[in-house]
Amino acid sequence: MTSAGRLYRGRKNVTLASLLLLVLAVALGPTPSSAAGDDWWNPTARPAPDSQVNVTGEPFTGTDAKGEVRGFVDAHDHIFSNEAFGGRLICGKPFSEQGVADALKDCPEHYPDGSLAVFDFITKGGDGKHDPVGWPTFKDWPAHDSLTHQQNYYAWVERAWRGGQRVLVNDLVTNGVICSVYFFKDRGCDEMTSIRLQAKLTYDMQSFVDKMYGGPGKGWFRIVTDSAQAREVIEQGKLAVVLGVETSEPFGCKQILDIAQCSRADIDKGLDELYALGVRSMFLCHKFDNALCGVRFDSGALGTAINVGQFLSTGTFWKTEKCTGPQRDNPIGNASAPEAEKRLPAGREVPSYSADPQCNVRGLTELGEYAVRGMMRRGMMLEIDHMSVKATGRVLDIFEAKSYPGVLSSHSWMDMDWTERVYGLGGFIAQYMHGSEGFVSEAKRTDALRDKYGVGYGYGTDMNGVGGWPAPRGADAPDKVTYPFKSVDGGSVIDRQTTGERTWNLNTDGAAHYGLVPDWIEDIRRVGGQDVVDDLFRGAESYLDTWGAAENHEAPGNLANGSAASASSSEWSLFTSYKPQRAVDGDGGTRWASDWSDDQWYQLDLGSPQLVKRVTLDWERAYAKSYRIELSTDGVNWRTASSTTAGDGGLDTARFAGTPARYVRIQGLERGTDWGYSLCEVGVHTG
């Protein structure tokens, strides 16, 4: 779920509720089908009346000549966000046993003319008025710029599947603050309660589809909980549905006045519960700093409003520092959001922020690191979008130290400078569902890296996520979509999509709902060429490669654990020990610390010669700016395996050609602080 700040530019004097909602707005012609017969992709019956799918031809099955699955990946969608935020922010349901007329109804307060469609006029502008009638006319919704109406009706998702999509990540989403400030709701605001409900309804939707095809397991909508199961589903030609979570306070892990409101036990319990529900990927923070990590900022008036919401929720404003590397968090700026700022306590003001590149001082907390490592133990994939630069950097350091591939960027909310590190780990990247010209431009910018690492590409529609979707390019646009057109594999014919009395055309309507995803991909092909679409068509294989590698990951053995350690010096303390052995005791809470001078060394005796290929150094705040890693078989003759003059602390991973060594030495040359050198843990690995 993301915010489309461009939609709100220039709006002034909106209510606090409006601004806070903006803040996190992250995110049926109808006749029964004929009997399926040999047409396994057609149900024996549909609800009558219902939406049309408007795709003919058999969906592709099996694998390609290389034995790889094929198909598109939507790495970020919100099928059931109508159940989030108190249940009345997104209007309409993805399915109903009573049929389309019951599913695609507007919210009660939108009748008779949308005058009370508060969130609609906040996000779309104007007065919010619209025709609330859904079935059968759909005069005003769904639409590419109507962010409050259901876009994921099951038959529209079916059309995307028929058009070649084979993976859909359904991110269970909500936000307690949005829920609490929105005027209309019919349930409580506890985030985990909403997540549980959305998970249940995803399984209910699977059963709903199965019923049309003759019973359990027979439908095209298949929830999968491991990569092998997903491959089997895709080889059958069906849609593999993966559950994810995107919420601001997972497991209740908010922070108030920088004090965590959760514990390690809460994290373990929460991860176990989510895993049992089938969740296999998740975000640890979103929009507000929480007890796990700091967030990547929003900008302009929207950023100011979010910052007010951050204060009202946590008791602190965003805190920034000058960025130290090429990556940066989004600039906050000093734009005014007067109505939101009025709600601050007397004497409180939103801080001013420097115009130069600023980063969130809050990175990955100790609890956040515990959650990351807990996800690794469970073979789960971590979403780094929405994490601050500092938090993302630490996550990538941790993953690199363990060679863990389970990292995702699903909708263009990370600093693009991280791209190669993600691919280098074996991670997966998807781009937000931008208009075809913008999508093609970004895809081509990163094309060389995908070729280098041999990976496919994905998209994140973020539908029902209140982000805004591709506008129409126009009936006279160059290289416009012409109907009907063939699917990418060539086996299906796709015509204009019709639901009730309304027929949509991507050229003139834009990406109004999920059923127009195939049309949008055809637009990308016409604008950007077949190469971009081919990369997208390899997305399913690459996503499953990342998932499978995370599931099957085994933490490499650490030769340093328990080995004999020595050092040039050890800082003295009356209260604790900073002796060399403390950096190889397997406890990240203890450390070795040297005297406060540059020329210091730390040495390990592995006991016998070993093939050493990788050394990890987890620095405490007292780190080395310049140092060498040296190897020796006899403790006398040393060879430099790795060196740097630009150390920045944190967790360093040095990889080099396998070298036999019994002794490993870290030679500190220049300190990064006024203190000495201090290592929490040292790792030595053969692979």
DSSP string covering 635-671: SSS-EEEEEES---SSEEEEEEEEEEEEEEEEEEEEE
Tell whether 43 is covered by a domain: no
Of 305, 318, 205, the C-alpha closest to 258 is: 318
- Angle (CA) 91-97-103 rounded to 5° is 20
Rounded to whole angstroms, how far apart are CA atoms 198 and 202?
6
CB under 8 Å, gap of 24 or more: what pairs does 188-197 form?
188/86, 189/86, 191/247, 191/248, 191/249, 191/250, 191/252, 192/250, 192/251, 192/252, 192/270, 192/273, 194/83, 194/84, 195/245, 195/247, 195/274, 195/277, 196/277, 197/80, 197/83
Tell whether 2 is covered by a domain: no
Residue 374 shares a structural domain with residue 355 = no
If pLDDT is split at 50, 70 and 90, which confidence band does 170 have?
very high
Tell whether 32 is covered by a domain: no
Rounded to whole angstroms, how far apart are CA atoms 198 and 149?
17
Rounded to whole angstroms, how far apart are CA atoms 331 and 297?
7
- pLDDT value, residue 428: 98
Mean pLDDT of 507-511: 98
CA dihedral 295, 299, 301, 304 (to 10 degrees): 30
Residue 656 shares a structural domain with residue 639 = yes
Tell whether 98 is covered by a domain: no
Residue 443 shares a structural domain with residue 522 = yes
If pLDDT is split at 50, 70 and 90, which confidence band does 127 have?
confident
427 pLDDT higher than 70: yes
Note the Cα 510 to chain centre separation in Å.
Answer: 24
CB atoms within 10 A of CB 351: 13
- Per the structure, the complete domain to which residue 267 belongs is given by 72-85+158-294+362-552
CB burial of residue 5 (10 Å; 0-12, 13-18, 19+): middle
Rounded to whole angstroms, how far apart are CA atoms 358 and 319?
9
Of 334, 360, 386, the residue at which a domain comes to its end is 360
11 pLDDT higher than 50: no
If pLDDT is split at 50, 70 and 90, which confidence band does 5 have?
very low
If pLDDT is split at 50, 70 and 90, which confidence band does 179 have?
confident
Residue 407 DSSP SS3: strand
Of 477, 682, 519, 676, the C-alpha closest to 585 is: 682
- pLDDT value, residue 3: 45
Of 552, 573, 590, the residue at which a domain comes to its end is 552
637 pLDDT higher than 90: yes
Model confidence over 266-283: pLDDT tens digits? 999 999 999 999 999 999
- pLDDT value, residue 407: 98
314 pLDDT higher than 80: yes
Of 360, 375, 390, the residue at which a domain comes to its end is 360
Model confidence over 70-113: pLDDT tens digits? 999 999 999 999 999 999 999 999 999 999 999 999 999 999 99
- pLDDT value, residue 26: 36
How many domains, in total, are found in the chain?
A: 3
CB atoms within 10 A of CB 621: 10
Residue 60 DSSP SS3: coil
Residue 500 shares a structural domain with residue 614 = no
- pLDDT value, residue 7: 32
Tell whether 176 is covered by a domain: yes
- pLDDT value, residue 2: 53
CB atoms within 10 A of CB 321: 12
| CATH number assigned to the domain comprising residue 484 | 3.20.20.140
Rounded to whole angstroms, how far apart are CA atoms 79 and 170?
6
Residue 532 shares a structural domain with residue 569 = no
Q: Which helix (H) or strand (E) holds 170?
A: strand 165-174
Rounded to whole angstroms, how far apart are CA atoms 157 and 447?
28
- pLDDT value, residue 547: 98
| CATH number assigned to the domain comprising residue 577 | 2.60.120.260
If pLDDT is split at 50, 70 and 90, which confidence band does 1 have?
low
Q: Give the orientation angle of helix 366-377 with respect to helix 264-277, to 10 degrees.
A: 30
Residue 243 DSSP SS3: strand
20 pLDDT higher than 90: no
Model confidence over 373-389: pLDDT tens digits? 999 999 999 999 999 99
pTM, to two decimals: 0.90
Residue 544 shares a structural domain with residue 648 = no
Helices (H) and strands (E) in the chain, counts: 19, 25
Residue 604 shares a structural domain with residue 525 = no
Tell whether 127 is covered by a domain: no
Q: Which helix (H) or strand (E) holds 613?
A: strand 600-619
25 pLDDT higher than 80: no
Of 601, 581, 592, the C-alpha closest to 622 is: 592
Mean pLDDT of 426-437: 98
Residue 457 shares a structural domain with residue 542 = yes
CA dihedral 141, 145, 148, 153 (to 10 degrees): 50
If pLDDT is split at 50, 70 and 90, which confidence band does 28 have?
very low
Compute CA distances 278 → 197, 268, 285, 370, whole Å. Answer: 13, 15, 20, 21
288 pLDDT higher than 80: yes
| Cβ–Cβ < 8 Å for 416, 322 | no
- pLDDT value, residue 530: 97
Mean pLDDT of 214-234: 97
Mean pLDDT of 473-499: 97
Percent pLDDT > 90 in the chain is: 83
Residue 679: strand pairing partners: 592, 619
- Which of 23-27, 136-140, 249-253, 264-268 has the weakest average pLDDT? 23-27
Tell whether 557 is covered by a domain: no
Mean pLDDT of 517-533: 98
304 pLDDT higher than 50: yes
Residue 260 shares a structural domain with residue 289 = yes
Residue 213 shares a structural domain with residue 259 = yes
| Cβ–Cβ < 8 Å for 678, 628 | no
Tell whether 192 is covered by a domain: yes
Rounded to whole angstroms, how far apart are CA atoms 395 and 618?
13
Structure tokens at 20: 């806070």
| Cβ–Cβ < 8 Å for 356, 322 | yes
SS3 readout for 538-601: CHHHHHHHHHHHHHCCCCCCCCCCCCEEEECCCCCCCCCCCCHHHHHCCCCCCCEECCCCCCEE
Q: Are strands 55-56 and 259-260 parallel, antiparallel or unpaired?
A: unpaired
Mean pLDDT of the chain: 92
If pLDDT is split at 50, 70 and 90, which confidence band does 122 have?
low
Residue 423 shares a structural domain with residue 473 = yes
- pLDDT value, residue 642: 97
Compute CA distances 282 → 245, 383, 387, whole Å. Answer: 5, 6, 12
CB burial of residue 380 (10 Å; 0-12, 13-18, 19+): buried
- Single-letter amino acid, residue 533: V
Of 400, 347, 409, 357, the C-alpha closest to 382 is: 409
CB under 8 Å, gap of 24 or more: what pairs does 253-259 form?
253/290, 253/291, 253/292, 253/367, 253/371, 254/288, 254/290, 254/291, 254/313, 254/314, 255/289, 255/290, 255/291, 255/314, 256/314, 256/315, 257/314, 257/315, 257/316, 258/316
- pLDDT value, residue 19: 47
177 pLDDT higher than 90: no
- Which of 130-139, 349-358, 378-387, 594-603 has the weakest average pLDDT? 349-358
- Which of 24-28, 113-117, 258-262 has the weakest average pLDDT? 24-28
| Cβ–Cβ < 8 Å for 167, 74 | yes
Residue 172 shares a structural domain with residue 308 = no
- pLDDT value, residue 305: 82
DSSP string covering 303-371: HHHHHHHHHHHHS----EEE--SS--PPP------HHHHTTSPTT--PPP--SS-EEES--B-HHHHHH
Structure tokens at 54: 């408007």
31 pLDDT higher than 70: no
- pLDDT value, residue 492: 97
If pLDDT is split at 50, 70 and 90, which confidence band does 12 have?
very low
- pLDDT value, residue 30: 31
Model confidence over 317-359: pLDDT tens digits? 999 999 988 999 999 988 888 877 888 999 999 999 988 889 9
